[in-house]
Structure 1
Amino acid sequence: MVWFETILVALTALTGLIWLLDKLFFAKRRLAAAGVLEEAREPVVVDYAKAFFPILALVLGLRSFVGEPFRIPSSSMMPTLLIGDFILVNKFAYGLRWPITNKKFLDNGEPERGDVVVFRPPHHPREDWIKRVVGLPGDTVGYHDNKVTVNGKELPYRAEGVYQGTGQGARETGATKLTEGMPGRPHFVLEREDSPFIPQGEGDWTVPAGHYFVMGDNRDNSEDSRFWGFLPEANLRGKAILVWMNFDWSADRKVDVSRLGTRIP
């Protein structure tokens, strides 16, 4: 959420500036004015700044450069990720980036095919989305008849039965659950024959340099690269690694403990 990040940066900068200015200028004046026997009292605003700045700075540093929590709001990554999942995103997997601007200042690896990534889509730059990387720079990706091809090779599929959804994901009940055999990164996907996305979601795409082709695991209910194009590397936010909580408001506000600590394949 860009607004939260902006507020966090602003509060950290403000409290730090108040603390610094007081230490450099105003604290000495207060001591001189108080004299030897009288205690020099700090203004309330300085007291609060000194108390909150270390906490805000720590949260900002961890959130920006180590790991950040995100909540899954939609069904586009089912059955891998469910509505209400709270996930942890590795913020240094693809290089360190400055808060707000998302500009990279330190390289530290690139996405691999099959990674689940959080990013800001080109057409909604103030939102955070999550999809799976299917095509790397230079790849040719095809999607026909609910099957993905990468560089002319069709990924293998194995039917796992009919999917049974729960909570807000119950509307996906009846979809076919399959294992998509992406080399080294097999994972589940959903497909259904009655989806309105099938006719307009088919095609072939060659991924340009500095970009990625991303898709949701819920193939017939995902707005992804098939519809809005390639994901620029500069828009990456991090790599999703695990589910640390699930809280679905529609399911009697229950926490699904079976999701805790689930690794994201």
Structure 2
Amino acid sequence: MTRWFRANKGFVAFLVLFGIFRTAVADWNPIPSASMRPNLLEGDVVFVNRLAYDAKIPLTNVSLARLGDPQRGDVVTFSSPKDGTRLIKRIAALPGDTIEMRSERLLINGKPADYTVLGNGIEKVEPLGELTALHLKERSGDATYRIQVLPQVSAMRDFGPVTVPADRYLMLGDNRDNSGDSRVFGTVPRELLIGRAERILVSADIKGNWAPRGERIGMSLRPE
């Protein structure tokens, strides 16, 4: 073993440094589910900036320094406060915000979000088959982004009001009627935030023929 290590110490050092880079600086995250449609599709791989908010000790949630504040509308990866699963959702409410949802419409601090109809899409939902999805532009505060709703399915379209505690964030999936998010597991502590998803690195149609989706490469995930 010692002989092997000496012969491959350069490779071992590379693996260690690469691991530190992925756990402390930047990472990538594959998208396995439909919870962030229409902005993220199954088969997208996104670039995650782990230094967007905090510099952390590698492999821990211990913050060494705060580098920036999460903003409403940011797409973030985080560890679920329920079971530790890595998730990706959008920040819908910040510490101190009071948020509620009434018939799918968000209200932040008593002010309803603005909505613009963009058109329709198709989503396959088992066991219901192919359903028509309504695409909307949601403007909440200074953040504007696309969401979709599935009027045919049973979903949690009303909740709150909830006031977000200090250093916690309320997350929602862009696919509002097909997302397990803060309506299920509650608000997320800052220390569980992994990083901000910046853009799509690569994409392939994993639900179809695995063809590359070149038009999605490099797409920004920042709110408008």
CA separation in 1, counterparts of 2:35 and 2:191?
22
How far is 1:54 from its partner?
Answer: 2.6
Larger Cα-atom Rg: 1
How far is 1:221 from its partner?
Answer: 0.6
Contact kept? 1:94, 1:110, Cα under 8 Å: yes
CA displacement, residues 13-66 of structure 1 (integer Å, 9 cap, x when unaligned): xx9xx7xxxxxxxxxxxxxxxxxxxxxxxx233212x12133113312321232
2:185 aligns with one of 203, 228, 252: 228
SS of 1:56 mapped into structure 2:
helix
1:116 maps to 75
- Quick one: which amino acid aligns to residue 161 of structure 1? G
Distance 1:241 1:173, change over 3 A: farther
CA separation in 1, counterparts of 2:24 and 2:185?
29
- Quick one: which amino acid aligns to residue 44 of structure 1? W
CA separation in 1, counterparts of 2:54 and 2:161?
30
CA separation in 2, counterparts of 1:122 and 1:71?
20
1:97 maps to 56
CA separation in 2, counterparts of 1:101 and 1:62?
13
2:26 maps to 67
Contact kept? 1:162, 1:173, Cα under 8 Å: no
Q: What do you get for the CA RMSD once the two structures are aligned?
A: 1.9
2:210 maps to 253
Contact kept? 1:162, 1:175, Cα under 8 Å: yes
Distance 1:172 1:132, change over 3 A: farther
CA displacement, residues 69-115 of structure 1 (integer Å, 9 cap, x when unaligned): 11011111101111110000001011111233222112111201111
CA separation in 1, counterparts of 2:152 and 2:131?
13
Query: Comparing both chains, which one has the higher relative contact order based on Cα–Cα distances under 8 Å and sequence gaps of 6 or more?
Result: 2
- Quick one: which amino acid aligns to residue 51 of structure 1? G
Q: Relative to total residues, which structure has the larger helix share, 1 or 2?
A: 1
**2:121 is aligned with 1:163:** yes
Contact kept? 2:42, 2:207, Cα under 8 Å: no
Q: TM-score normalized by structure 1? A: 0.78
CA separation in 1, counterparts of 2:130 and 2:191?
33
Describe how 1:36-185 pairs up with structure 2 within 5 A.
43-48=3-8, 50-125=9-84, 127-165=85-123, 173-185=131-143
- Quick one: which amino acid aligns to residue 163 of structure 2? T
SS of 2:38 mapped into structure 1:
coil
Ranges in structure 1 where 5+ consecutive residues have no aligned partner: 1-14, 19-42
CA separation in 2, counterparts of 1:255 and 1:198?
34
How far is 1:211 from its partner?
Answer: 0.6
How far is 1:173 from its partner?
Answer: 4.7
How far is 1:172 from its partner?
Answer: 6.5
Q: Relative to total residues, which structure has the larger strand share, 1 or 2?
A: 2
How far is 1:251 from its partner?
Answer: 1.5
2:168 maps to 211
Ranges in structure 2 where 5+ consecutive residues have no aligned partner: none
How far is 1:235 from its partner?
Answer: 0.5
Identical aligned residues as a percent: 33
Distance 1:231 1:92, change over 3 A: same
2:145 maps to 187
Distance 1:182 1:172, change over 3 A: farther
